[in-house]
Amino acid sequence: MAAEWGRYGLRFNAIAPGPIETKGAFSRLDPTGQFRDNMLRSVPAGRMGEVEENANLAAYLLSDYSSWVSGAVVVLDGGNLPYMAGMFSQLTRVTQTLLVYLQQPIHRLPTVHNSHGPHCLQLSVCPLQVTKEQWDMMESMIRQTKGS
């Protein structure tokens, strides 16, 4: 619709809200609080949204400040959508030790030896095993990339 009606000055946008705890909805839909607790585990922001946050976004999208925004779907969910999308959501379980390790420049990374063998990064969910040859290949590829 944004493509068809934009020439007439009309804009079409949508807000895709995440979970917002309201007394009326949650007292009926989640009287025990189980849904809320499970949902919070999948929201990287660690909290439910607030009605005012949606109202502020709607006010912006209706204002002249967003006159060039059209055809957009704005996801307002505390990071829930990308978290639930998959593959990297397990990275929330990365330990502090592993995080410090991953933040080191490549040339300063020590050799890791543990029960999974050398160069294995132990995540709390499953091990990611990287051989010395794979490390060398990745480092070579990174160094050959323009701008790095």
62-113 pLDDT, tens digit each: 999 999 999 999 999 998 888 888 766 666 666 667 667 666 665 454 555 5
- Residue 142 backbone dihedrals phi, psi, to 5 degrees: -65, -45
Q: Which residue has the higher pLDDT, 127 or 37?
A: 37
Q: Specify the residue for token string 């959508």.
A: 81
The pTM score is 0.57
Contact indicator for 19, 39 with CB cutoff of 8 Å: yes
Q: Which string of DSSP letters, residue by residue, matches 7-51?
A: GGT----EEEE--B--HHHHHHH-TTSHHHHHHHHT-TTSS-B-H
Q: Specify the residue for token string 């990064």.
A: 121
Q: Is the pLDDT of residue 118 over 50?
A: no
**Percentage, residues of the chain above pLDDT 90:** 34
Q: CA 29 to CA 39: how far, in whole Å?
A: 13
Which distant-in-sequence residues (6+ apart) come within 8 Å of 35 by Cβ? 26, 29
Contact indicator for 119, 135 with CB cutoff of 8 Å: yes
Radius of gyration for the alpha carbons in the chain, expressed in angstroms and rounded: 23
